[in-house]
Structure 1
Amino acid sequence: MEREFSQLEGMPISADLVMAGEFVQLHGMPMPVARFGPPRPLPCPPPRPPQDRLMDSRMYKQAIQGDRDGFIPILDSISSEKKLPRSEILSQVSRQNNTCLHIAVSFGHHELAKYIVGLCPDLIKKTNSKGDTALHIAARKNDLSFVKFAMDSCPSGSGASRDVEQAEQSLLKIVNKEGNTVLHEALINRCKQEKQVEILIKADPQVAYYPNKEGKSPLYLAAEAHYFHVVEAIRKSEVEEHMNREAKPAVHGAILGKNKEMLEKILALKLVHQTDEHGRTPLHYAASIGYLEGVQMLLDQSNFDRYQKDVEGFLPIHVASMRGHVDIVKELLQVSCDSIEWLSKHGENILHVAAKYGKDNVVHFVLKKKGVENLINEKDKDGNTPLHLATMHAHPKVVNYLTWDKRVDVNLVNIKGQTAFDIAVSVEHPTSFHQRLIWTALKSTGARPARNSKVPPKLSKSPNTDDYKDRVNTLLLVSTLVATVTFAAGFTMPGGYKSSDPNAGMAIFLMRNMFQMFVICNTIAMYTSILAAIILIWAQLGDLNLMDTAFRWALPFLGLALYAMSLGFMAGVSLVISNLHWLAIVVFIIGIICLVGLSVPFLLLFIPSKSTNRILRYISYYPFLLLVWASEGPKIKQED
């Protein structure tokens, strides 16, 4: 060891070794004590370009400013300092692998960018950390004039510049990390320079069909954005599209754009039979977004297979039913009426699909159509009828429509031996409002559980005292407040009291009709609120059955008290302003409207009824739909 140390002491210490801490303990310092176990790993710095490839900060600043006269001296100065040719200095990059050409183009400094390209044409092909060339950046900024210049300046084998129509095609085929070519970037960013875009297509027509990572080709983007000049330029190039399974067909883009003229141009390219990776035809797409005019145009195409299924076995009419587009369903049935009987891969007809996705308008239309009796109770591969699926996916409005149809057998069982009622009571969250509405609809139509179900019944959750206690305390507080207010109103009569004999102490408006109405309503509110409070006090004894009964009885009494108090307020205010007729009439009208509004939510607490009585069911029909409407949240529109 001493011999080795003596040899090392005479050796120079490199900077790399000093930074790594290799010889810290060798020169006059005590040796470290040996430790067992693996050494601690040093923190890894973020990846960056090698030091000799990093751009000088002075050049970076000049590239941002775009001053060509200031850039040239800095370039010459750095070249002489580092003894490197100017082309190598220009090839240096920033932390994000941007060359000075990338920076100049991103800030729109054309003169500087042209100067850099003249000194070092190879920089046109250089990509940054995002895979962008300077041409990508220029196209993203709608600066296709620079793209044309760069393509003209691209060196050929002899080193001379060439015409743009003979420009090096690999430039246009370079893709960034998003899979976008220069033409993609120009169209994505809504480039309006028609001639420049046409030049790009003419330089390399095949690029018009290249898909990016989203599967969108420039032709697809042009069709979706209604760029007629781009589609026309691609059509004139007379290059056949090589359909990639990862690429979205351009005709689908035209359909999503919902432009009749554009769709006609794309159909003229003979692309109507293309399908995407899911096997969906253009007709599937048009039916999905509810584009009726597009559906009609596609159906008019000769030799078009309107019965082609996607990978899920769905016909276009299934997709239209799934999305709730009744007008599309009607159009498809007029052209091919037998498509109503076609089944998906899961054995689902259009009524199954509409019920599964909650499209009540389609369900309503199919149920009213003649000759659909075989669809109503048809079972899919799992034995589920449309009623099973609507119950399973919690669509109360669909369940309501189905249960009102006499042809629907509500007690059919699926493969698991479950009826729709079994599904309604065995869901994960049976207390949700939608499930309560579904249970009510099924119960009122006479639905019952199956006796031979293969699924064990879900154990009913024992009622929790705390669940009832909060409700009882809330109602007790409200009833006490109503009793207090009405008690005070009984001794502060509208208009006051007479102070002279013979009727001293009597109310001034005693003989007025509105006053009498006020007294009656105030009295009713007073005693019904006290009665509700007494019933709720009994609920505090802790017996769950008594608590539930008290809750059900106290609620209507409290509702009556609130209603009577509101009516009494209207009568009292109308009385004291009766001399100003227009104001009294306005107050009376507002009061009537509000009283009707109060009655609606209160009555909805008791209806719809679970009774199978036909009259009660009819009474409950519209309140049920109102509750469904009130319980539905905002829906997010989704499109394929």
Structure 2
Amino acid sequence: MLACGVGADRRIIEILIEAGGEVGSKDVWGDTALHYAVLGRRLQAVELLLSRGSNVNEKTNFCSTPLHLAADSFPEWTDGVKAIMKQKAVEVNPRDEDGQTPLHRACYKGNLHTAELLLGHNGIDANVVNNKGDTPLHVAVQRREYQVVCLLLNQDSVNLEIVNKEYRTPLLEAVSDGHLGIMQRLIARGANVNAVDHGGNNCLHLALKRENNFHSEVEHMTMLDQVSFHIVCDYVCVCVCVCVCVCVCICASVCV
């Protein structure tokens, strides 16, 4: 097993397997040879073990699968992710002990290309929540992973209004964290600026609490101005709609 993670070449691993080495054997932490190969970033070992019957979905004592480990590898290791995802039996939405899927982990580490590979799989659930109620989008926002946020927002299936256990949407998290660039992206995608958290705070409340303590890739407006602008626009639109409806009703009554 250790040979798979410490740089042994393909031939040595083959000899050990042919001699009766059990590819599914686990250590005290629940790691198999495949887990070791992924942790060691040994692509040939990963491919060999998979071809010899290693369970691609085997979980450690912490419920981590090989795909979990490959997804949060640093630096990013897309070759390993691809090798694992080629397996027809691979589960792309397994949850570890914290409820994190491989996509959650990729978003946490800012592994943009890994997240892209996962999102490209037909079986991916981009809205699955972890034990804190966070979706992958929540996690990317909390970690200030701007590019990953943009990638997720380009997915039609991503739900912007899921609330976590703090009753916060990704937009509320972005405002609370003071990230104007991410906030602008979420608003442009249609996020609800009037959502409230468990304390009754909406985006404007959270922006006022931060004052102008924010950071952004684009700083054309202060956070408070940006949030206020969109809330006012929403209010005006509602008022206009109400006025139009009232006028239509009056006209209809007069005509009758």
**Do both share a fold (TM > 0.5)?**
yes
Separation in 1, partners of 2:141, 2:27? 31
- Amino acid in structure 2 at the alignment position of 1:254: A
**Which of the pair is proportionally richer in helix?**
1
1:382 aligns with 2:202: no
1:237 aligns with 2:57: no
Residue in 2 aligned with 1:192?
8
Residue in 2 aligned with 1:268?
86
Change in 2 beyond 3 A, CA 1:393/1:334: same
Q: Which of 29, 32, 38 in structure 2 is aligned with 1:223?
A: 38
Residue in 2 aligned with 1:541?
none
- Amino acid in structure 2 at the alignment position of 1:371: G
1:401 aligns with 2:222: yes
The answer to whether the Cα contact below 8 Å between 1:205 and 1:234 also exists between their aligned partners in 2 is yes
Residue in 1 aligned with 2:68?
252
Deviation (angstroms), 1:282: 1.3
Deviation (angstroms), 1:217: 4.4
Change in 2 beyond 3 A, CA 1:370/1:318: closer
The answer to whether the Cα contact below 8 Å between 1:187 and 1:221 also exists between their aligned partners in 2 is yes
- Amino acid in structure 1 at the alignment position of 2:46: V
1:367-516 matched pairs, under 5 angstroms: 367=187, 369=188, 371-372=190-191, 374-375=192-193, 377-389=194-206, 396-397=213-214, 401-405=222-226, 406-407=228-229
Q: Deviations over 1:555-609 (max 9, x none)?
A: xxxxxxxxxxxxxxxxxxxxxxxxxxxxxxxxxxxxxxxxxxxxxxxxxxxxxxx
- Amino acid in structure 2 at the alignment position of 1:379: V
Q: Which TM-score applies when normalising by structure 1?
A: 0.31
Q: Which of 318, 323, 334 in structure 1 is aligned with 2:138?
A: 318
- Structure 2, unpaired ranges of 5+: 232-256
Separation in 1, partners of 2:170, 2:141? 6
- Structure 1, unpaired ranges of 5+: 1-182, 410-640
Residue in 2 aligned with 1:532?
none
The answer to whether the Cα contact below 8 Å between 2:166 and 2:198 also exists between their aligned partners in 1 is yes
Separation in 2, partners of 1:387, 1:222? 49
Change in 2 beyond 3 A, CA 1:212/1:402: farther
Deviation (angstroms), 1:390: 5.7
Change in 2 beyond 3 A, CA 1:253/1:243: closer
* SS of match in other structure, 1:220: helix
Separation in 1, partners of 2:35, 2:207? 37
Q: Which TM-score applies when normalising by structure 2?
A: 0.72
Change in 2 beyond 3 A, CA 1:212/1:362: farther
The answer to whether the Cα contact below 8 Å between 1:312 and 1:344 also exists between their aligned partners in 2 is yes
The answer to whether the Cα contact below 8 Å between 2:4 and 2:34 also exists between their aligned partners in 1 is no
Separation in 2, partners of 1:344, 1:238? 39
Separation in 1, partners of 2:143, 2:212? 15
Q: Which of 296, 305, 323 in structure 1 is aligned with 2:125?
A: 305
Residue in 1 aligned with 2:252?
none
- Amino acid in structure 2 at the alignment position of 1:397: F
Change in 2 beyond 3 A, CA 1:217/1:386: farther
Deviation (angstroms), 1:239: 4.0
Aligned residues: 220
* SS of match in other structure, 1:253: helix
Deviation (angstroms), 1:359: 3.2
- Amino acid in structure 2 at the alignment position of 1:309: V
Deviation (angstroms), 1:389: 4.3
* SS of match in other structure, 1:341: coil
Deviation (angstroms), 1:366: 3.0
Deviation (angstroms), 1:262: 1.6
Percent identity reads 23
1:207-222 matched pairs, under 5 angstroms: 207=25, 210=26, 212-213=28-29, 217-222=32-37
Q: Deviations over 1:287-321 (max 9, x none)?
A: 22222222221122122222211111111111111
* SS of match in other structure, 1:363: helix
Change in 2 beyond 3 A, CA 1:401/1:378: farther
Change in 2 beyond 3 A, CA 1:395/1:350: farther
Separation in 1, partners of 2:116, 2:104? 12
The answer to whether the Cα contact below 8 Å between 1:256 and 1:289 also exists between their aligned partners in 2 is yes
Residue in 2 aligned with 1:350?
170
The answer to whether the Cα contact below 8 Å between 2:99 and 2:130 also exists between their aligned partners in 1 is yes
Deviation (angstroms), 1:212: 4.9
Change in 2 beyond 3 A, CA 1:361/1:259: same
Change in 2 beyond 3 A, CA 1:402/1:253: same
Deviation (angstroms), 1:396: 0.9
